Amino acid sequence: MCGIVGYVGGREAAEVILDGLARLEYRGYDSAGIVVADAAPGARLDAVKRAGKLDALRSALQGSPLSGHLGLGHTRWATHGRPNDANAHPHLSEDARLAVIHNGIIENYLELKDRLQAGGHHFASETDTEVLVHLIEDHYQAAAELGRARERLVRAVRGALTEVRGAFALVVAHADHDVIVAARATSPLVIGLGEGENLLASDVPALLPYTREVVFLEDGDLAVLSRDGVEVTGFDGAPRRRDATTIDWDAEAAEKGGFDHYMLKEIYEQPVVLQNTLFGRFAGNGLDVRLELELDPRAIDRVVVTAAGTAFYAGQVGEVLIERLARLPVEVEVASEFRYRRPVVDERTLCVVVSQSGETIDTLEALREARRRGARTLAILNVKGSSISREVDDVLYIHAGPEIGVASTKAYTAMLAAFELLALYLGRGRGTLPDALAAELLQGLRELPQQVQEAIDRRASVAEVAERFKERRDYLFLGRGVNVPTAFEGALKLKEISYIHAEAYATGEMKHGPIALIDRSMPVVAVATASELYDKTVSNLQEVRAREGTVIALASDGDDGIRRHADEVLYVPAVHELLSPIVNVVPLQLLAYETALRLGRDVDRPRNLAKSVTVE
């Protein structure tokens, strides 16, 4: 959730940290803070913290810039305590010589706080994080015999770690030491290896202007960074070997590239992303796909898919595809529920987890639960080296590149493409997918990037619809079959970034209740593209119109008849029904974007949300 940046080296730390925080601000943004040190014996650390976005911190620093070659910075997404200056990180010890930043939750913080307060510690914030400062301070005092030796700080952090419970990433600096000590217990941390400098961050984009050589910390790792090197051990001090990974996308790929918003850039990137996801995975015979998976399609009897948010809707499309092509029963469940309901899985169950970030805690824990219960596991993932990638049996990467906009777009279409590949792989491997249908779908997938480009090119007509309906307070989204999830994803996009209330239903469900809501004031966005159930969809649209509802229909090119049943029509290229969710979601992404823009919303950083949800 929160953004973390640490730096030690020859540059002005404050500049590197502010730059890094700006690249991570999408992770959480209700307050920000920075601390800078120069390892001067006896000195106090300089910290500046401000509620609000990073600009508030920048303004505060303009008057009194911080100078030093070691520092920590943080953007916060509040869990414990309001987003104000006092609760912003870093948190300092009472003597202002020790600083801590943290992402995640310390579950036993209340009992620790009681004990520390009883021992004479004074707390300046309402956060769970501050408990860490006082705990480390106690352990630091207890190791006084080590004087200014670096080991003293490391031992203090290790000691504190034995007392805390939770899922977190912790980063510590002390005025007497020219090192940063970092520990990972579930929340992500990645180290950037430089020449005469080293960095750390909660996500790769913050590191890319300085290095592409990175080390992903794993759970239970403790790292000590100095300007000359990085040492990784376990919390117990035993050395751990962590190999560096070379990141193959550059800082520019994580920038806006001329677009007004990351979200818009990412919508426009979808044709290229689909090429990256799909191409190179088709077999030369035009009938099969080549996925580098250990999975034997005949060794499973059933599939469960679990994920959160947009990735969950991708999983629901996957359900239809796998059932249809591989004739395997599939269940899909939100990860936050799956992990707690003692799921019935065994070694003949394939558990598919889906995640852009690979760090969503609900999804990670759902994966762990499935593994504990003996399921075979596969992840559809974007971020390489992420926590999920390290714990799963097989990974199918979507190759979407960095997705910065909080509202997921290109990762969604790439996840759908990955599910198309997986369903084909399972269907062909199990002998349930005939040659003719396989050939048709594979040819359709080859044409898909171009058709998604055409859907994007029709942005102007979506903008007109957004303009017409931008003041409406409620929306209903409908879809059938493989496009039920399209309706849900369209509604989610609209509510996330425009804050308009939007509900989604399977079209056939409307008459069982939601129809009561229909009146002139509520636009109904209906996916009515070519499908087996097209005629039934049209009947449902008539039911809406009979109640003076306003229909915005999504229709396939060439369907002139739909105009009789709709107030507005958004056309998309005609594609095979099983591929249609990939094309159909594009106008819905654009509708959300164009509406939010007209309402003056902060498209890339919508209120209350964070890009990567690493708390429960």
Tokens 């493989």 found at = 482
Among 19, 20, 22, 26, residue whose Cα is nearest residue 1: 26
The two structure tokens encoding residue 592:
């959300």
> Which of 185, 311, 423, 515: binder of ligand M6R (CB under 6 A)?
311
Q: By CB under 6 A, is residue 310 in contact with ligand M6R?
A: yes
| Cis before 209 (ω within 30) | no
The smaller minimum CB distance to ligand M6R, of residues 459 and 611, is found at: 611
Residue type, position 597, single letter = L
3-state secondary structure 553-575: EEEECCCHHHHHHCCEEEEECCC
Nearest approach, Cβ of residue 379 and ligand M6R (Å) = 10
> Which of 87, 93, 306, 355: binder of ligand M6R (CB under 6 A)?
355
- In Å, the largest CA–CA distance within the chain is 85
Half-sphere exposure in the Cβ direction for 52 (13 Å, CA)? 8
Q: By CB under 6 A, is residue 386 in contact with ligand M6R?
A: no
Q: By CB under 6 A, is residue 363 in contact with ligand M6R?
A: yes
Q: What is the dihedral of CA 50, 189, 417, 486, to 10 degrees?
A: -40
The smaller minimum CB distance to ligand M6R, of residues 140 and 313, is found at: 313
Give me the 553-592 binding string for ligand M6R, x by CB under 6 A, dash otherwise. ----------------------------------------
Half-sphere exposure in the Cβ direction for 28 (13 Å, CA)? 27
Nearest approach, Cβ of residue 415 and ligand M6R (Å) = 8
Q: By CB under 6 A, is residue 308 in contact with ligand M6R?
A: yes
Q: By CB under 6 A, is residue 407 in contact with ligand M6R?
A: yes
> Which of 408, 580, 584, 614: binder of ligand M6R (CB under 6 A)?
408
Catalytic residue among 2, 49, 351, 495: 2
Tell me the site size for ligand M6R, rule CB under 6 A.
16
Nearest approach, Cβ of residue 499 and ligand M6R (Å) = 14
Q: By CB under 6 A, is residue 187 in contact with ligand M6R?
A: no
**CA 549, CA 568: separation in Å to the nearest integer?**
12
How far is residue 519 CA from its own chain's centroid?
36
The smaller minimum CB distance to ligand M6R, of residues 225 and 596, is found at: 596
Nearest approach, Cβ of residue 138 and ligand M6R (Å) = 37
* In contact, 168 and 104? CB cutoff 8 Å: yes
**CA 47, CA 173: separation in Å to the nearest integer?**
12
How far is residue 137 CA from its own chain's centroid?
34
Phi-psi region of 147 (alpha: psi -120 to 50; beta: other; left: phi over 0): left
DSSP states along 76-140:
E--SSS-SSTTTSSPEE-TTS-EEEEEEEEETTHHHHHHHHHHTT----SS-SHHHHHHHHHHHH
> Which of 75, 277, 356, 387: binder of ligand M6R (CB under 6 A)?
356
**CA 226, CA 8: separation in Å to the nearest integer?**
6
Nearest approach, Cβ of residue 565 and ligand M6R (Å) = 30
Q: By CB under 6 A, is residue 37 in contact with ligand M6R?
A: no
To the query of whether residue 2 is one of the catalytic residues in this protein, the response is: yes
Nearest approach, Cβ of residue 355 and ligand M6R (Å) = 3
Q: By CB under 6 A, is residue 498 in contact with ligand M6R?
A: no
Q: By CB under 6 A, is residue 357 in contact with ligand M6R?
A: yes
Among 218, 121, 199, residue whose Cα is nearest residue 160: 121
Q: By CB under 6 A, is residue 367 in contact with ligand M6R?
A: no
Q: By CB under 6 A, is residue 1 in contact with ligand M6R?
A: no
Interface positions, 237-256, toward ligand M6R (CB under 6 A): none
> Which of 360, 377, 413, 595: binder of ligand M6R (CB under 6 A)?
360
To the query of whether residue 611 is one of the catalytic residues in this protein, the response is: yes
Q: By CB under 6 A, is residue 217 in contact with ligand M6R?
A: no
Binding stretches for ligand M6R (CB under 6 A): 308-311, 355-357, 360, 363, 406-408, 496, 609, 612-613
Q: Which positions are annotated as active-site residues?
A: 2, 611
